[in-house]
Chain A
Amino acid sequence: MSGFLPSAIVYILAAIVCVPIAKRLGMGSVLGYLLAGIAIGPYLVGFIQEGQDIMHYTEFGVVMMLFLIGLELEPENLWKMKNLILNAGLTQVLVTSALIIGLGIAFGFTWQISITIGFSMALSSTAIVLQSLKEKNVMGSPVGKLSFGVLLMQDIAVIPILAILPLLAVANETVNTSGEGHGFIEQFPAWVQTLSLFGAVGLVILLGRYGFGPLLNYVSKTHLRELFTASALLIVVGITFLMEFVGLSPALGTFLGGVILANSPYKHALESDLDPFKGLLLGMFFMAVGATINFGLIFSNASIIISATIGVIILKSLVLLIIGKIKKLEIGNNLKFAIGLSQIGEFSFVTYAFASQLGIIDLSISDTLMAITALSMTITPILMVILDKVIFPKMSTNQGPKKEMDTIETRSKVILVGFSHFGSTLGRFLRANGVEATVLDYNPDRVDFLRKMGFKVYYGDATRLDLLHSAGAEEATLLISAIKNPETNLKLIEICKENFPKLEIMLRAKNRVDAYELMEAGMENIYREHLDTSIRMGEDALKKLGFRAHTIHRLAASFKKYDEEALKVLVQYKNNQKEYISKIKLQIESQETLLSGELSRKFSMNDHAWDSEAMKNPEN
């Protein structure tokens, strides 16, 4: 199969066939993609031969995923995780690699090879683990947090590991480094390298703080969606490039960029624009992993490869189990944590390739190792399914995962769309009552301005489904639209009705005419913006004319009620001018009689009823 279109078709078809089946069987999309990859790979159907290449390109999906994860993790929260990352993460990396290195040497490999293998195998697959955690919606649970902490440390560990490999080659005396290994920066002396590492990280932080915001503000003013998407891509690609240039892990760099942008008003817009790219790339990536599994090699070396894979999985799990135990995970969660992270990560594909370039390991060993990695990546999701479906139901008593977990980002239950004077007054009132709404606004300058005043406002077009998704419309109870434009409101209604049927909608309407339209769209909670103010003004005017405050207060409330009720009747006649006018007249008349009746009703009319019969006035 050659040519872009046919391979695209094959990939997509395979995904469409396999992923839904996998999901239906409760296996999660990762396993689905892996199986799809195996199916179209060279050893089954044989459509795809170039798995390695595709994997290399689509690894960008992992980078993007980390950017998106960063977006959801505000710096303070990351800071809170520092102990987790250092203790659990570092222990995992060091202990696991030490054990594997020891075993390698015990099995008679040179120490250089053992070190390469040890470090490579110690790392887990960020892509698989995070994707599964997100899919199960447990990123914020204790398991999710611990897994994430360990993965983050592993990503940091990539830096020294890549730095160590060339030294091993030197020690191996088959100096073969041409500089194309990773960073271009390689050719410079160590101090320049170190300096540029810090420089690059600093640059990402600086850009994140001061550069990306103005860029996105500028672009969003054009209201061209594709330009915004392009800018989002530019940010991720740019950071990746910079990181590769200085030899840092791009995933780590974009993660950092994401964290810095987590407080930005463009957070939700970025999320919703990048998410499809991430999804597609990751899917491709997993399929590529599936396609690279060299079954020929596995079958010819079955006993070695399978036992090595199982051995590594068991070893990694044991180390993780101990860490989980120390971190006080109860047994069910601990198993999820340990087995979830027990595969060998995609990073090992890079190290093996790099190491064989450096001449540390030869091609046959590297092929075998890659087969082990791919196999472990396929086995652990299967183990997770077994754990979930077979083992947990049996030990259901001591599992208890239902206890409330604190999430990384607590989403508010209210989405407030439009933060003009109307919306901001509303928002302030809600906030004063402890309800922090997720606020969306489409005017980048206003967003910036309100942010300066301390409001958590996000830039974005609320009539975009993806944006509503990332603003949490699925979990929200209430969507309040403080937009006055009826077209926008109608669009919003349509989207919400179709996608979030449980979400209750409250709408601002400019006047009667707009209110009618919203009513016809089936809405109930409609707030005409002038109604309360004009009545309140009338209330005060009457007080100044000598009416009693409490009486007028009650009458005003009744007036408003009658008016709202009348609206429901009048909407049926709104297209028939004559009928409409006569109906309105009728409504006004009855409204006035009702109110004036109330106004003149004398309270002490029946006072005799409280008196003794004898005392009652004979005239009554």
Chain B
Amino acid sequence: MRKVLVIFAHPKYEHSEVNQALIRSIEGLEGVTIRDLYELYPDFNIDVQSEQELLFEHEIILFQHPFYWYSCPPLLKQWMDLVLEFGWAYGPGGIYLKGKYLLSSITSGGSSEAYQPDGKNRFTLEELLRPFEQTAYLCKMEYLPYFHIGGTHRIKDDELNQKSLDFQKLVFHLRDAEKIVSESLPHLEQNLS
């Protein structure tokens, strides 16, 4: 069993719908730790040491956040800036994340169609998530395909329920699967649809 660390950032979680559903579906699961950054560090004063200790203990790192301005909310960026230290996460001696898995789980107003070369947002999510992919690369982690819920403004309850279950299934898979193979993750078909 792998341990899963969910680094979760939502500045206004009390008004969230989609992210609440996702978090609730994995809350309290064995082997799954959720770090609610905006609750832990309301003043952005991140405790680097304990974050690094947690990272070290877990094998799967999952960034969970709404997609804001084609990126993550600022506290997650601050977390990356401070926690992924030179000599710890990357650079000489930066070996503590080596071999771990990183993936992004994002929700966005734009649906998958809007994230196409001919869509409103012109670039695919894969392209827009490059900074995270490259972060994983620099830290010698394997970057797995993202999990995505788009069109948050028009999502129906049963649809959201289904998505949450998919998400839960993904987390279980990451936690329990014998071997993690990028190409055969359970959520891949949906991303394409």
Contacts and interface: CB of A to CB of B under 8 A. Distances in A.
Interface of A: 547-554, 601-604, 606-617, 620
A614 B38 CA distance: 34
B108 A604 contact: no
Contact of A611 (B15, B18, B40, B111): B111
Contact of B38 (A549, A606, A612, A620): A549
Interface of B: 11-18, 38-43, 66, 75, 108-111, 113-114, 119-121, 150-154
Contacts of B153: 604, 607-608, 611, 616-617, 620
Contact of B120 (A548, A551, A610): A610
A605 B126 CA distance: 25
A360 B154 CA distance: 115
Q: Identify the interface centre among B66, B114, B153: most chain A CB within 10 Å of its CB.
A: B153
Contacts of A553: 42-43
Contacts of A607: 109, 151-153
23 contacts: A550-B41, A550-B42, A553-B42, A554-B42, A601-B12, A603-B15, A604-B109, A604-B152, A607-B109, A607-B151, A608-B153, A609-B109, A610-B114, A610-B121, A611-B150, A612-B113, A612-B114, A613-B120, A614-B113, A615-B111, A615-B154, A616-B153, A617-B153
Contacts of A551: 11-12, 14, 42
Contacts of A614: 113
Contacts of A547: 14
A557 B178 CA distance: 49
A601 B15 CA distance: 8
B95 to A, nearest CB: 33
Contact of A549 (B42, B114, B154): B42
A604 B66 contact: yes
Nearest to A552: B42
Contacts of B120: 610-613
A175 to B, nearest CB: 84
A35 to B, nearest CB: 65
A554 B74 CA distance: 14
Contacts of B41: 550
A566 to B, nearest CB: 24
Contacts of A612: 110-111, 113-114, 119-120
B18 to A, nearest CB: 8
Please provide the 5 A-B residue pairs with the shortest distance between their CB atoms, ordered closest to farther. A607-B109, A610-B109, A553-B42, A549-B42, A607-B153
A612 B121 CA distance: 8
Q: Identify the interface centre among A615, A616, A617: most chain B CB within 10 Å of its CB.
A: A615
Given A548-B38, A617-B153, A604 B114 contact: no
A604 B111 contact: no
Given A602-B15, A610-B109, A615 B39 contact: no
Contact of A550 (B11, B109, B110, B113): B11
B151 A604 contact: no
B119 A548 contact: no
